[in-house]
Structure 1
Amino acid sequence: MKVALSAQRIAAMLALITAPVALTAQTAKPTAKPAATDSFALTAPLPMDPAVTVGTLPNGIRYYIRQNAKPEKRAELRLVINAGSILEDDDQRGLAHFVEHMAFNGTKSFAKNDIVKYLESIGVRFGADLNAYTSFDETVYILPVPTDSAGILPKSFRFLGDVASGVLFDSAEVVAERGVVLSEWRNGLGAGERLRDKQFPVIFRGSRYAERLPIGKPEILEKANPGPVKRFWRDWYRPDLMAVIAVGDANPAELERLIRSTFSGIPKRTAPRPRTLASVPTHDSTLVTIATDKELTTSSVGVLWKRPGKSTRTVGDMREDLINRLYNGMINQRFQELSLKPETPFTGAGASSGGFVRGSELNALDAGAKEGKIIESLQALLTEAERVQRHGFLASELERARTNTLRSYERSFAERDKTPSGAFVDEYIANYLSGEGAPSIAFEYAAVQKLLPTITLAEVNAVANARGGAANRVVTVTVPEKDGLRVPTESEVRAVFGTVVASNITPWVETVAEGALVPTTPSAGKVVKEARIAAQNITDWTLSNGVRVLIKPTDFNADQILMSSFSPGGASLVADKDAFKTSLAPSIIAAGGVGSFSTIDLRKKLTGKVASATPSISDLSEGMSGAASPKDLETLMQLIYLRFTAPRADSTVFKAQLQQFEQFLKNKDANPMAVFSDTIQQTLAGGHPRARPLSMEMLKELDINELLTIYKDRFSDAGDFTFFFVGNVDLATFKPLVEQWLGALPTAGRKETPRDVGPTQFAGVIDKAVKKGIAPQSQSIVLMAGSAPWNREDSYVLSSLGELLQMRLLDRLRESLGGTYSVSVTSAFSRRLRQEWQVAIQYGSAPDKADTMFAAVRDEMQKLRTTPPTAAELERVKEQQRREFEVSQKQNGYWLNTMRTRVENGDPLDTMGDYLTLINGLTVEKLSAAAQKFLVESNRARFVLLPETSK
């Protein structure tokens, strides 16, 4: 299970740490929506979405029920506990999270791990689907289940009911789970964790939050026993601190019946422990924390202003949120513009605001500083905030921000019947924990339409005044620890505030490029050939210039059209020494803008539009990916046309990009995982020049004009390009756009094929240990590889074997040995240029357990080679595949990727639905034969990352 806390950067905490507030239980369903004339009065409460049923059981358990068919035949179930690590006693540090683990290891209705095996048998994947998280102030159990088979929902609710009132806490299981939880703790070690431990005592000065991280203390975890673990569960898993949420494709009346029958019998607690709230004490002066670490790769500086938390409960609160959103968006646009200038001391910067911990929120400015430029970056951050405070924003900035904000709500409203159940669940969790309003998107969209025009420039400018002052302010500085890099002192950091206040700051000046996106409309082409793949509802057009266009209209999303394209060739057609330049060229050239529009000008030009086209060059092809709203489809087509015909090299932006690359590379080798990854890449490639990791020396070879030449060569001839469009497309209106913009693309008659330029598959047995890093952790990657004739069934069976092996290894390495938190097995069978296969296994462990774990991996592979899997294992694999396919085939991205892969490999499109045939044909015998064929160690590589102090 996962701990909901990450703190390498304070900015990330805004997104990952929730700030709930206890909610007084109410009864039955929400009241009706206020009359239209009163709905948007600023004091009016946000009305609960009438589509959700909200109620409270007699024992105090809150429930939320909503019928929603996205995805079909699925329901999202949650058990929310209004308690987390902040409530742990001193002998329980980390045991709130431990309780969460024990819920999956034996309850009154399910013996050890039985619930996991049952859910896997109905298509629910452990970890990816079935999960839970523990945060400072809440614990949430996550259970997505199918709804089209009798018995699944009752059994699923029974499990959640057991979590609430029937976890066993068997002594042997508690001892066995110590290793799993310690492995999860171990996974979090590293530079980020060490910086957090230095920063949190300052950020949370005087608060219990500084000493109650959900992952806990290893000295307590390694000695955990049922007594204190069960005590936390008994104290805090109780009806007055619980909510049950059920959203999905099921009868609401049946869901309510199941909730009542499952949870009503849980008795109220007599004389329960008070559910206290931890506070974050205020302070009058600025606090500063400066932290260094030898494995940190980049410098950063942030300014945080702590303030009391406030839930969005009224229309007035919503309006205030909009003002803050506008402010953040407008100043962030300025930061983005500054980051494209080489003279700017930071590589990127941003303003944010939001929930921090329960009852507290943050306003933050954050920057990734160029090496040695901490003071300058802090000054640049504060200068922009001060510029707004003195001179305000421009009216044009507000207008663009308003337009983009309204557009985002418009899109949500358009997708109101396509909203996934998980999104509703998140709203109801926030409503229960913090009292956050949960109105319908129809209400929100109507409110935003009414409120946005009333927000004045003066109101947005006033936010800058509210976000300032020394009170409750914390400055965070992080710097790599290395020779020659000076760390600023606290007095130098503090002095920046006075410097900015005393400085002369001029108003912001902006330029806006005028004119049409495409100044001159090109001569259109024509569709000269049309074909239909009726079974898949795909239309296939060939244009007069040779461009091929495949379109699959869908109704999966109302406001989405996805695009992809490719042409054979890619970096394989250039010399080895130029391969890395070819791969970098698209992103560097695209950052310059298109035609007469710089990146900044283009962003302004596209205000209110949803359309993007991004070029790329891989080893074997070049192409573009993109997306658009149906109403902005022509803009997408114009962007594609411009990416082909009017790429724009911007030398100023290029210099800024080079500096960003340099900042990444300067200290990259301080990161143990980066060294590990580079070692694997170079070893497997045998030192092939195309497998070189990017280096400072390679950056010196980059020239903007050469990159533009490379880009133009790859995109100057569209004649062998194939485009794919999937989504809410109307063929009749789309055809003229295709003829106008894709039909006008230049062609020169080139028909290219990629070259086989290596590197080749590794051969023999490789064992390599990399000793890097100071944390007591280890990572292992085991690879098997080989060559074999490709066929579709073998490729599918290999993939299925990987899923089976992952189940086996998770059971052995995690559940039996308690040696790891997670295991990943990926397998692939490729046939472009060479027919090769590979199986990759990855897991973490304690350093002294790496060899034991590897022996267990080999043993499980040997068992699969010699003993066929069970019928139950076979059905678990097949059912998970069926269920995943049910959801995937209602997603535009699945069809886009499948269509492209089929065409790239020369496969027919009319058999795209044959996946179910493959699933139904999978047998124990086929899996056993695949294990004998693929799980062999004649070509096997093992890489182990160990601490640098290892012997």
Structure 2
Amino acid sequence: MLTTTPETRMTFPALRRAAALVALALPCALHAQPAAKTRAAAPRDSFALTAPLPMDPAVKVGTLPNGIRYYIRQNTKPEKRAELRLVVNAGSILEDDDQRGLAHFVEHMAFNGTTNFAKNDIVTYLEGIGVRFGADLNAYTNFDETVYILPVPTDSAGILEKSFRFLGDVASGIRFDSSDVVAERGVVLSEWRDGLGAGERLRDQQFPVIFRGSRYAERLPIGKPDILEGANPGPLRRFWRDWYRPDLMAVVAVGDAEPARVERIIRQTFGPIPARPTARVRPQAAVPGHDSTLVTIAADAELTTSSVSVLWKRPAQATRTVGDLRRDLVEQLYNGMLNQRLQELALKPEAPFTGAGASSGAFVRGSEIVSLDAGAKEGRLVETLQAVLIEAERVQRHGFLASELERARTSTLRAYERAFAEREKSASEAFVDEYVNHFLTGEGAPGIAFEYAAVQRLLPAITLDEVNAVSALRAGAANRVVAVSVPDKPGLAVPTEAEIRAAFGAVVAATITPWTERVAEGALVAAVPTPGRVVSERLIPGPGITEWTLANGVRVLIKPTDFNADQILVSAFSPGGASLVEDADAFKTSLAPAIIAAGGVGEFSAIDLRKKLTGKVATAQPSIADLSEGMSGAASPKDLETLMQLLYLRFTAPRADSTVFAAQLQQFEQFLKNKDANPAAVFGDTIQQTLAMGHPRARPLSADMLRELDLTELLRIYRDRFRDAGDFTFLFVGNVTPEALKPLAEQWLGALPAGNRREAPRDAGPRQFSGVIDKAVRKGIAPQSQSVVLLAGAAPWTRTDAHALSSLGELLQMRLLERLREALGGTYSVSVNTAFSRRIRQEWQVAIQYGSAPAQADTMYAAVREEIARLRSAPPTAAEVERVKEQQRRELEVQQKQNGYWLNTIRTRVEHGDALDTLGDYLTLVNGLTAEALSAAARKFLSEENRARFVLLPEK
């Protein structure tokens, strides 16, 4: 199905295993709780190493008489919503030879007709209650399981019952109508086609080696195209009948609903499904071990970078006891500390790799991997392999430093502390995966209160010797696989297997000295500046925004919220941006913030700064866009002053680091060396340059442009854009009060340099395209096509028209999904995006994108134009309008409880000079949307006077 990436979140099993995140990232927000109070939450013997992890008392777990397991948790974030899952412990690994790809095909058929829902009725129904197909309603199939994802409202009668009824039908009532199966073949084949390319060809070469002797090597979930092309109801129904059965299923429900009611609905819906006492045995596929190292070397003409991975396979280690949790912590510390070293090395221009990391975690069911991965600079892959192996060997011979362990402990504890602080604010989606994993693998789900208390007890007792000992478990030839991938291009030698194997011997024979480090001392800000003061203050009562003006002209806006306990977001912005520089310098101006910020601040290099901020939750990063320059950042309330200091230093003490700059240039060069081998990159560059009609500001980055970069000039550009804070607005949203912020704002923002500079962005181009453009790009060898269709024009901007245009885009996407995917079976997904600019020029654009088979590209384009013409000629139905409105209402309900929404909305209002006391007017627009308004918008905005069509086709 349409699988999308969920918002960033950290479930508790993932929290234990995300070593790089724990050690490298500076979390956005955290408020510490008293440790003693947390430890008192459980008796002392609960933390004995042999003690099993308890089930979180907030979740109710039960089993129906037929064997179906259920997990129910009440959670009110977001309000009036619930996350429902049907989990089937069956995936592609269970397919018979004539079913390869049909486990996934069954998932598709669940949305094409069941006992209680005719074809696509569930999609129409859910869209009518505000659930978007693809973005919300979803499902996925992998090797070992299939999961149906259903986020639904809970504040209207009958929605929960009907939603569970659909999941019940998936479990016991999919129809598999032959005509629907035939129609769905094209959709599934489109999904298969979308996955083609360099990555797929590398996978096909590497998986047989990585999974040698295992069924996993030949049971990819997407399946075989010849079987998909001939799919018929018999094998599909056989898979569903064999494996969609009560003993292999669980229902998960987390959200704003009374648990007793949810349990009653689950029992009523799933209880009548009969048990299967004589069902097929559900086998556990194994990944066989091997005594020696396996090597796989793959080259591809469309690959843009070289990489190497060293994998060690091992049996899965589920976290079920306190001792397992402690073991995970030890491994997490090891990964984090090694990653810090590798990150430091990557900042040196002499490093042979562009980036490297160590990780460990789930592989496939019953198997795990630990790995060393690195991206190699071109022609230096064997050096890269030796370099990462040397760092692992350095740890094995000499161990880590006590200071490294202390920082890793601090970072790890802070990550758990952060999760604990947000325990009452966590979104329902954050809990669901934890319960899915508990059902599928037995992974513990004790809840963050227990985990945080356990980690506080366990972490201080973990010794340096224990962490160092992990290195011995990541050595030796047994169960080791080396996977190499390189671009296939003239003049680039592909490493041989003998060279790869020789690298291991070279490392063993090498003289490796212990790691040393220098930790910068001193305060983050060496000399505290003279503070400024607030000279005017007002309250904007509707949205609850406090506004200050400081003596230096800085404007500060504060919107306190209680959406997250430990999050404060900041956005600072000033008009001007790259539009104020010469065309030839525009790309330098855009790159300057990232390059200068990578050098650190003041007396602290990037590495020194990271160490200095260990345990702090505060970030501030500069940027220069076309029309503005600014800073973005986040902090925990207790680290608010650190955030303010970082903002101050980014303005007043930028640090240009020539060594880091040299390393950055090399990384840019590596990215550009083979970029044109990637069909998608060539397609994107062609669209950009064609629409811009050769404008110098639309030049794709090239090696020649890199040679124009000079660190001194970049620092000058940076300083010019940030030398005068007098026309900056600083916007703070989150768990912050004006009382807490005011003295810090006066101290750090009030001390920023300011003059009388008042800038406005200028129209530097490029202009919007005009006329009709039809351009084909032939690049790539996979039998796939991508199409982009653009409509554009100019019109006076109004809030009503802007909303009508975005609503029209949503309606058009619904219709194109129905036409291109469901009716024609010609694509897997369609996206429609709209934009209506009002700064500089008042212009609008509609962008439509979809994939297809190359032979169908013209047919699909004709269908797109027909649907556009239909919308221009006749108004939408009342049902369609209501679907659009309800999705917007439901989306707004959730967004209005998120700090990021308010940050972006307020900033947009400020930049456009709009009044802030009308922030709630969007709902008025939604409720006022009519079929007539959408029809008028279609006639206005779906004009083909300015139309561009770009299509990517294979070279042959």
What is the match of residue 950 of structure 2? 943
Question: Of 162, 167, 174, which aligns to 1:160?
Answer: 167
Alignment partners' CA distance in 1, 2:149 and 2:588: 45
1:754 corresponds to which letter in structure 2?
P
Residue 730 of structure 1: CA displacement?
A: 2.1
Pick from 502, 523, 541: which aligns with 1:534?
Answer: 541
Q: Contact conserved, 1:4 with 1:133, CA < 8 A, in 2?
A: no
Matching residue of 2:786 = 779
- The letter for the 2-side match of 1:217 is K
Aligned to 1:280: 287
Q: Which letter does structure 2 place at the counterpart of 1:506?
A: T
Asked if 2 retains the 8 angstrom alpha-carbon contact of 1:3 and 1:215, the reply is no
Q: Name the structure 2 match of 1:47.
A: 54
Moved runs in structure 1, 4+ residues, more than 3 A?
2-5
Are the counterparts in 2 of residues 46 and 437 from structure 1 also a CA contact under 8 Å? yes
* 1:670 corresponds to: 677
Residue matched to 1:191: 198
Alignment partner of 1:731 is 2:722: no
> 1:547 & 1:438 partners in 2: Cα distance?
48
In structure 2, the residue matched to 1:290 is: 297
1:750-829 correspondence to structure 2 within 5 Å: 750-829=757-836
How far, CA to CA, are the matches of 1:830 and 1:455 in structure 2? 56
Corresponding residue number in structure 1 for 2:906 = 899
**In the alignment, which of 254, 258, 273 is matched to residue 261 of structure 2?**
254
Q: 1:642 aligns with which of 649, 663, 676?
A: 649
Cα distance between partner residues in 1 of 2:385 and 2:575: 47
- In structure 2, the residue matched to 1:450 is 457
Structure 2 counterpart of 1:715, from 722, 726, 731: 722
Match of 1:370 in 2: 377
Over aligned residues, Cα RMSD in angstroms? 1.2
Please name the residue that 1:613 is paired with: 620
Match of 1:169 among 134, 156, 176: 176
CA distance in 2, matches of 1:917, 1:291: 57
SS of 2:682 mapped into structure 1: helix
Distance in 2 (alpha carbons) for counterparts of 1:34 and 1:397: 31
Query: 2:648 is aligned with what amino acid?
Result: Y
Deviation of residue 122 (structure 1)?
Answer: 0.1
Query: What does 1:156-555 align with in structure 2 at a 5 Å threshold?
Result: 156-555=163-562
Does residue 120 in structure 1 map to residue 127 in structure 2?
Answer: yes
Q: Residue 23 of structure 1 aligns with which residue?
A: none
Q: Which residue of 2 aligns with 1:24?
A: none
**Separation in 1, partners of 2:170, 2:86:** 8
Contact 1:2–1:134 (CA<8 Å) still a contact in 2? no
Note if 1:851 corresponds to 2:835: no
Following TM superposition, by how much is the alpha carbon of 1:828 offset from its aligned partner in structure 2, in angstroms? 1.0
Equivalent residue letter for 2:191: E
Q: Is the 8 A contact 1:4 1:134 kept in 2?
A: no
CA distance in 2, matches of 1:482, 1:835: 46
SS of the equivalent of 2:667 reads: helix
- Distance between the aligned counterparts of 2:57 and 2:803, measured in 1? 45
- Cα offset for 1:35? 5.9
Residues 87 and 177 of structure 1: CA distance in aligned 2, closer, same or farther (over 3 Å)? same
- Does residue 585 (structure 1) correspond to residue 592 (structure 2)? The answer is yes
Q: Count how many residue pairs are aligned between Structure 1 and Structure 2.
A: 926
Q: What do the CA deviations read for 1:806-848 (whole angstroms, capped 9, x no partner)?
A: 0000000000000000000001111100000000000000000
The answer as to whether partners of 1:209 and 1:278 remain within 8 angstroms in 2 is: yes
Give the TM-score taking structure 2 as reference length: 0.96
* Alignment match, 2:747: 740
The equivalent residue for 2:629 is: 622
Alpha-carbon distance in 2 for matches of 1:555, 1:34: 25
1:298-317 superposed Cα distances (whole Å, 9 cap, x missing partner): 00011000000010000000
Q: Is the 8 A contact 1:3 1:134 kept in 2?
A: no
Q: Look up the SS of the partner of 2:287 in the other structure.
A: coil
| Aligned counterparts of 2:141 and 2:829: Cα–Cα separation in 1 | 17
Correspondent of 2:574 among 567, 578, 589: 567
CA deviations over 1:369-409 (Å, ceiling 9, x no partner)? 00000110000010000000000000000000000000000
Flag structure 1 segments of 5+ consecutive residues without an equivalent: 6-13, 19-32
Distance 1:107 1:885 in 2: 31
Extract unaligned runs of 5+ from structure 2.
Answer: 6-13, 19-39
- Partner of 1:163, secondary structure, is helix
| Secondary structure at the counterpart of residue 725 of structure 2 | coil
Partner of 1:929 in structure 2?
936
The answer to whether the 8 A contact 1:187-1:777 is kept is yes
Q: Is the 8 A contact 1:95 1:229 kept in 2?
A: yes
Distance 1:396 1:270 in 2: 58
Q: What TM-score do the two structures reach when normalised by structure 1? A: 0.97
8 A Cα contact 1:564 1:896, kept in partner? yes
**Superposition deviation, residue 3 in structure 1:** 7.3
Contact 2:2–2:135 (CA<8 Å) still a contact in 1?
A: no
Report the secondary structure of 1:536's partner residue: coil
Query: Which residue of the partner structure matches residue 100 of structure 1?
Result: 107
SS of aligned partner of 1:484: coil
Secondary structure of the residue aligned to 1:475 is strand
Q: Structure 2 CA distance, aligned partners of 1:294 and 1:457?
A: 46
Of structures 1 and 2, the one with the larger relative CO (CA 8 A, separation 6+) is: 2
| Residue number among 64, 68, 88 corresponding to 1:61 in the alignment | 68
Deviation at 1:34, TM superposition (A): 10
- SS at the partner of 1:59? coil
User: 1:26 corresponds to which residue?
Assistant: none
CA distance in 2, matches of 1:247, 1:832: 43
The one-letter code sitting in structure 2 at the alignment partner of 1:786 is: G
Structure 2 counterpart of 1:11: none
Task: Specify whether residues 567 and 935 from structure 1 end up closer, same or farther in structure 2 by C-alpha distance, changes over 3 A only.
Answer: same
Q: In structure 1, which of residues 691, 695, 698 is the aligned counterpart of residue 702 of structure 2?
A: 695
CA contact (8 A) 2:64 2:271 kept: yes
Q: CA deviation at 1:270?
A: 3.3
Deviation at 1:749, TM superposition (A): 1.1
Instruction: State the partner residue of 2:867.
Output: 860
User: Per the alignment, in what secondary structure is the counterpart of residue 49 of structure 1?
Assistant: coil
Structure 1 residue matching 2:890: 3-state secondary structure: helix
Structure 2 match to 1:22: none
The counterpart of 1:598, out of the listed 605, 612, 618, is 605
Q: 1:428, 1:438 within 8 Å by CA — same for their partners in 2?
A: yes
- Secondary structure of 1:869 counterpart: coil
Closer, same or farther: CA 247–191 of 1 in aligned 2, 3 Å: same
In the alignment, the residues of structure 2 paired with residue 215 and residue 414 of structure 1 have an alpha-carbon distance, to the nearest angstrom, of 40
Distance 1:348 1:383, change over 3 A: same
Q: How far apart are 1:565 and its partner, in Å? A: 1.1
* Structure 2 CA distance for aligned equivalents of residues 295 and 733 of structure 1: 54
Does the 8 Å contact 2:312/2:479 carry over to 1? Answer: yes
Measured against aligned partners, the alpha-carbon deviations of 1:565-618 in whole angstroms (never above 9, x if no partner) come to 110000000000000000000000000000000000000000000100000000
SS in structure 2 of the partner of residue 914 of structure 1: helix
1:75 aligns with 2:82: yes
User: Would you say the 8 A contact 2:212–2:288 is kept in 1?
Assistant: yes
Deviation at 1:863, TM superposition (A): 0.5
Is the CA contact 1:309–1:355 (under 8 Å) kept in the aligned structure 2?
yes
Local SS of the residue matching 2:231? coil
Preserved contact between residue 34 and residue 47 of structure 1 (Cα < 8 Å) = no
**Which whole-Å deviations, capped at 9, do the CAs of 1:14-72 have from their partners, x for residues lacking one?**
99x99xxxxxxxxxxxxxx9960211000000000001000000000000000000100
Q: Give, in angstroms, the shift of residue 748 of structure 1.
A: 1.8
What secondary structure, in the 3-state scheme, does the structure 1 residue paired with 2:920 have? coil
